[in-house]
Structure 1
Amino acid sequence: MPDIRSAHVAEPEARLEEGCGLALAIGIVVVDSFIIPIRSVKAATLFGSGQIDRIKAACDMEDAELVIIDGALSAIQQRNLEEKIERKVIDRTGLILEIFGERAATAEGRLQVELAHLDYQAGRLVRSWTHLERQRGGYGFLGGPGETQIEADRRLIRDRMARLRRELEQVRRTRALHRARRGRAPWPVVALVGYTNAGKSTLFNRMTGADVMAEDLLFATLDPTMRGISLPGVEKAILSDTVGFISDLPTQLVAAFRATLEEVTGADVIVHVRDISSPMTEMQKSEVEQVLADLDINTGEEGALTIPVVEAWNKWDLVDTERQAELLEKSEVDGLPIVPISALTGFGVEALERQLSEILTASARVHSFRLSATDGQRIAWLHAHGEVLREQSTEDAEGAPQLEMDVRLDPREFGKYLSLTET
């Protein structure tokens, strides 16, 4: 697996490791991997002849059947490399599309992947129409060479893509209705976002007790999942797990998965889960922030965040003490709202829940109540819906037992309490 990042890009080894992770995520056995700096791009083959010979020699030595180029290849480059190396060759986009195609579990996810795959194939069909016999990964209707067949294939792809876009537009409308319905409900939404394999699903399972697929694999989660959780002072909130982001995500996938990503725009709070132990954590953060910017989440007036964001620094237990101190010192300088956690062990998760509660109840006020000690219904309601700051037993003028309570409630919950007292 050659990584073709230029020599000036920081930490190419980490990028190569990520490329190997993508291959492993789909069950490919990586027998060799190395970095090839590109000083002068060859239009026909991308690599120079000496570099191609090196790749072929490595394939011959290891009996490799597939070469993955961790970068973008044109259809001509892909065809020429296959002829020279005498192996099947795919690029980063093709590999990610294969992973998504294998992992998509819902009808919506499969629609999104198929649309992305067709978009990818359509571009290659236009650029290399005389070599259709070498196309791969399509949906069974891509034929052999010949102008008449080419035009028929193009029409089939266009028609299929148009139908998929109509179906996905219906998905968007349905999601918009669901978001509007949740907006009328009394439950806030917390969305987990982050680079792929940062630990979002592990954190989701930790906070909800669910059993969402959470493995040490890139793109273990593709389809959004939602569960109800309780937070201090918040009776119920909806926690949403989303697809992970990655650098150089194919534009076809960004467009196709917009319906899924738009779930994030309806959140009350976003938790950016970061693998703080990764050497590429800063680059990963930038990639996630770019996607959020594309969704108009952090492009409000004067650059202000339109939705509050909390950074959950996951895998904190894998960071040495000295590095932990450096990170915490930097966070104080930057003024970042961060919570160090380990989703695997549970460390820091309670602190994260308190942080979320503070944000969700920021508009809350403290109200004082004096209730009969026998009024169990209202006392229990206040405990369930607010944050009880003080609770003291006393008596009224006639000696009947009373309970004085100071409770923090947001305006919505206080309104519900007033309605309760009227019944």
Structure 2
Amino acid sequence: MHQNEFPKVERAFLVGAEVRGTNSVISLQDSLSELALLAETAGMEVVGQTTQTLNSIVPATFIGSGKLEEVQAVIKELEADAVIFDDELSPRHQREISKVFGNDIKLLDRSALILDIFAQHAKTKEGSLQVELAQYEYRLPRLTRQWTHLARQAGGSAAGSGVGGVGLRGPGETQLEVDRREIGRKIDRIKRDLEGVRQHRSQHRQQRRKTGIPVIALVGYTNAGKSTLLNHLTNASVYAQDQLFATLDPTTRRTALPSGRQVLLTDTVGFIQKLPTTLIAAFRATLEETQEASMLLHMVDISHPNVVAHIDVVEDTLAEIDVPSMPRILVWNKIDRWAGDTPPQFPDSDMYREQVCISARTGEGVPELLEAIERVFAQELVRITLQIPFERGDLVSRLYRIGRVLTQESSAEGMILDVEIPKSAQDRYQDFAYENT
């Protein structure tokens, strides 16, 4: 391949705006820095950026008309191919801004950029379906007459859409309706497919509940190191890179705590500020894994200057998807990159049972994390005495996996065990409760 045959890297110019008097989780400049990382993750080269402070967002063009003309001149000078806004643009914003920049400049907002990254990184059928659904739901209200390729891709054409002879609508208008119907059909199909995935996952969770093995969900801001920790603890081979959204598809692996107790670790998609609502909805099937967990490990990058803001973003997103109250451990990761003495303080630290500093990459602090998990689980255990029939050795084995067997002895009717098991599993063994009379 000749050098000039390599695909051209798109040159992106970033635009950020903030409204006076509003409080943002992350400063405008830090948000633009994160947007630059997103653009680089998507394979773009960032060639410049600009910001504007407004009294209110301009209804037609998001930023002021003067600023828009300034951006137009700069992107021409820098030979930029794309302009990326740090906030989600409304359909009207996109339409009016595109008129100014022209069709040769790709116009994106943060939501569209994140969707593009997700599309690149989704590996499984489920992940691809979720991204496809989010993309279509994002595009549907933004359809314009320029989108006539959608229907052609679906096997339709303007000529075959019933225009000829009627004369009631223009061809572009009719084609727009065809595109909308086609996207609507695709959305319905993907939702049906995802419902099948959700039911399949639900069956898996029911099977896991029957085993009584507790599930620990790893949650955190994107690039906090969740996949690296999963790999370290379970010898898994989950893709883990120092970049945003390196992995999307959830992975569940079994591991043992120091006591020998078995647990399941589930890695989940990373969160980010201004995460598109269409994506949160599309990934609900995946995030249900978090809702069904026995414990959350909230991982954060202690070396990141906005780490406290990242904690807030994750907790807000967990609340948005209705994750129930459950024990949480705050895991300050990447201490090998950090020069501080004590972790930062933040207002809601009481919501965490334990806080542990680790390096998932080097393994430093991981034994202390496992001990903290044991302590938290111990707080969730109940002590009961059970009499298990001899022929139910499977129940005895399960008790050793999910809890702590303190004593075991034989009787005429079966094995008598003094055990500590999770409260959630107590009802399952109620029929075997033993009282020494």
1:195 counterpart (212, 216, 221): 221
Cα pair distance change 1:274/1:157, threshold 3 Å = same
Cα pair distance change 1:384/1:179, threshold 3 Å = closer
- TM-score relative to the length of structure 1: 0.79
1:351 counterpart (351, 368, 383): 368
Is it true that 1:3 corresponds to 2:16 in the alignment? yes
User: Does the residue aligned with 2:329 lie in a helix, a strand or coil?
Assistant: strand
What residue in structure 2 maps to residue 49 of structure 1?
65
What residue in structure 2 maps to residue 262 of structure 1?
288
CA contact (8 A) 1:16 1:34 kept: no
* Distance in structure 1 (CA, Å) of the matches to 2:349 and 2:130: 41
1:49 CA displacement: 2.5
1:36 CA displacement: 2.5
What residue in structure 2 maps to residue 312 of structure 1?
331
1:166 CA displacement: 1.0
Cα pair distance change 1:203/1:30, threshold 3 Å = same
| Unaligned segments of structure 1, at least 5 residues | 299-304, 368-379, 391-406, 419-423
What residue in structure 2 maps to residue 165 of structure 1?
191
| Unaligned segments of structure 2, at least 5 residues | 1-13, 159-170, 386-396, 408-417, 433-437
CA contact (8 A) 1:233 1:384 kept: no
Is it true that 1:120 corresponds to 2:138 in the alignment? yes
1:121 CA displacement: 1.1
1:59 CA displacement: 1.5
What residue in structure 1 maps to residue 242 of structure 2?
216
* Distance in structure 1 (CA, Å) of the matches to 2:17 and 2:119: 25
CA contact (8 A) 1:6 1:38 kept: yes
Is it true that 1:106 corresponds to 2:151 in the alignment? no
- TM-score relative to the length of structure 2: 0.77
Identity of aligned residues (%): 39
CA contact (8 A) 2:404 2:421 kept: no
Amino acid at match of 2:327: P
Amino acid at match of 2:373: L
* Distance in structure 1 (CA, Å) of the matches to 2:85 and 2:265: 37
1:53 CA displacement: 2.7
1:177 CA displacement: 0.9
1:51 CA displacement: 1.2
CA contact (8 A) 1:97 1:116 kept: yes
Amino acid at match of 2:303: S
What residue in structure 1 maps to residue 147 of structure 2?
132
Cα pair distance change 1:352/1:158, threshold 3 Å = same
Q: Could you list the per-position Cα deviations for residues 328-362 of structure 1 after superposition, in whole angstroms to 9, with x for gaps in the alignment?
A: 79898887521111112211111111111222333
* Distance in structure 2 (CA, Å) of the matches to 1:259 and 1:332: 29
Amino acid at match of 2:336: D
Amino acid at match of 1:270: L
What residue in structure 2 maps to residue 175 of structure 1?
201
CA contact (8 A) 1:233 1:385 kept: no
1:30 CA displacement: 1.0
* Distance in structure 2 (CA, Å) of the matches to 1:250 and 1:41: 19
What residue in structure 1 maps to residue 309 of structure 2?
283
* Distance in structure 2 (CA, Å) of the matches to 1:103 and 1:381: 38
User: Does the residue aligned with 2:373 lie in a helix, a strand or coil?
Assistant: helix
Residue correspondence of structure 1 range 1-400 to structure 2 within 5 A: 1-6=14-19, 8=22, 9=24, 11-86=27-102, 87-125=105-143, 129-132=144-147, 146-298=172-324, 305=325, 307-321=326-340, 324-325=341-342, 327=344, 337-362=354-379, 363=381
Q: CA RMSD in A?
A: 3.4
* Distance in structure 2 (CA, Å) of the matches to 1:381 and 1:191: 21
1:208 CA displacement: 1.3
The more displaced of 27-36 and 235-244 is 27-36
Cα pair distance change 1:95/1:366, threshold 3 Å = same
User: Does the residue aligned with 1:327 lie in a helix, a strand or coil?
Assistant: coil
Q: Could you list the per-position Cα deviations for residues 184-211 of structure 1 after superposition, in whole angstroms to 9, with x for gaps in the alignment?
A: 0132111101111111111111111212
Q: Could you list the per-position Cα deviations for residues 22-48 of structure 1 after superposition, in whole angstroms to 9, with x for gaps in the alignment?
A: 111111111112332233422221122
* Distance in structure 2 (CA, Å) of the matches to 1:141 and 1:95: 28
1:254 CA displacement: 0.9
* Distance in structure 2 (CA, Å) of the matches to 1:310 and 1:195: 15
CA contact (8 A) 1:142 1:153 kept: no
Amino acid at match of 1:297: V
What residue in structure 2 maps to residue 301 of structure 1?
none
* Distance in structure 1 (CA, Å) of the matches to 2:98 and 2:29: 25
* Distance in structure 2 (CA, Å) of the matches to 1:383 and 1:158: 51
CA contact (8 A) 1:100 1:113 kept: yes
